[in-house]
Amino acid sequence: MNVFGFEITRKSATPSPVPTGSGGWFPVLREATSGAWQRGETIEVETALAHSAVFACASLIANDIGKLPIDISAKAGRHFSATEHEYSALLRRPNRYQNRLQFFSAWALSKLFRGNAYILKQRNAAGKIEALHVLDAQTVTVLVSDDGAVFYQIKRSNIAGIAADVTVPAREIIHDRGITPHHPLVGISPLTAAGLAAMQGVSIQRNSAKFFENGSQPGGILTAPGQISNETAQRLKAHWEANYTGQNFGKTAVLGDGIQYETMTVSAVDSQLIEQLNFTAQDVCRAFNVPAWKISAGPAAPYTSNEQMNLSYYCDALQHLIEAMELALDDGLDLPPTIRTEFDESQLMRMDTTSRYAAHGGAINARWMTINEVRSIEGYPPVAGGDEVLRQLQDVPLSSTTQDAAVAQ
């Protein structure tokens, strides 16, 4: 059978789904606590997204990766330099409905939220890759045959051009996965660790909303000095809620027969609501490896320069994701060892103007960069003579000085 321009043959042994633990391939995350699956305590990604720290960490990482330019580089000597390749245009426009930024952001989000990113290769009649599609991770199942061959079962997707459910060999899928503690083909999301904190934060926000709906007053009870019937208690409760809560909060209540109102629930101050909410945000940051100060969820950064802050953020949160994407693309596009894909990470490492100009001046004086190379980095056009390597007249080899002295004698 020919699908997407490649031939799929039926295997004699039926592939079986990869065991994925208690969570399976359902649109939920793994257990937040031991035994949570048995108790039905699942954590929905969409619900966790309601926590601002989860949204901030994921969107920050995805957008920063998406905005990085990407090139295909060829090896020249011991170094790689950007070159034009047959797949260069593919990386600039991976498919008909996404540009580069949208495509790589979707890739990163799938890996962050589902633990796995599945990229389908769409081929033309000549067998060349003409488009890449980020699949919904919930619609993909990893299969392994008896002889160890890996397949991917994909559900129908109109936008990706999949007209019906189909099973494709591993060579047609770029599979980028997170850490794999349970199975080498099954990655897990950072929300596995941050899910409980995210749900706690969402619960705090919901309770806080209800608290302010009630005029910033905690709930309480009505007490009477003597015994009252259930009918009387229900009548008093209904009367109180209808006349003195919600929009009617603040009205004057007249209580007789010794009835008193006493606060029962803990106030926001007593429960340290703000401290608890900050803790959940910082716990989410730990799971995503994002410095808390990057999303304003903790103390200020312990650095004085933008370069140091960005380097810390890059090393902790971005580098492993970027390297994984580059390696996955190298393998998925069948690039030879002398050619590789490279994100331009210099966009993240830009120093402040004073430090940047000082570094450029040092590079020119050290004679390993020319003026035009520096101008190109800063976005300026070349100037006449700017490709010459400059050196000061007094910088001469020691041997030349010795020879001149000998001649003078």
- pLDDT for residue 146: 87
- pLDDT for residue 30: 40
Three-class secondary structure of residue 247 per DSSP: helix
Which stretches does DSSP call E strand in 155-311? 166-169, 173-177, 220-223, 260-263
| CA dist., res. 42 & res. 23, Å (int) | 9
| CA dist., res. 140 & res. 374, Å (int) | 47
- pLDDT for residue 100: 94
- pLDDT for residue 377: 76
CB-based contacts of 323: which residues, under 8 Å, 6+ apart? none
- pLDDT for residue 34: 41
- pLDDT for residue 397: 65
CB-based contacts of 97: which residues, under 8 Å, 6+ apart? 159
Instruction: Map out the domains of the chain as residue ranges.
Output: 1-216+267-350, 219-264, 352-389
- pLDDT for residue 132: 96
- pLDDT for residue 118: 96
- pLDDT for residue 39: 42
- pLDDT for residue 272: 67
The pLDDT tens digits along the chain (409 residues) read: 344 444 444 443 456 666 543 333 333 344 444 444 334 446 677 778 888 899 999 999 999 999 999 999 888 766 677 788 889 999 999 999 999 999 999 999 999 999 999 999 999 998 899 999 999 999 999 999 888 899 999 999 999 989 899 999 999 999 999 999 988 999 999 988 888 888 888 887 777 666 665 554 545 565 666 676 777 777 767 776 666 565 555 455 555 555 666 655 545 454 467 788 888 889 999 999 999 999 988 888 888 777 788 888 999 999 999 999 999 999 999 999 899 999 988 777 665 667 677 777 787 877 778 888 888 777 788 888 888 877 666 666 656 655 554 555 5
DSSP state of 171: G
Residues 309 and 301: beta-carbon distance below 8 Å: yes
Token digits for 393? 């007249």
| CA dist., res. 128 & res. 87, Å (int) | 9
Three-class secondary structure of residue 223 per DSSP: strand
To the nearest 10 degrees (0 to 180), the angle between helices 52-66 and 100-114 is 140
- pLDDT for residue 119: 97
Only one residue has tokens 């200020």, namely: 300
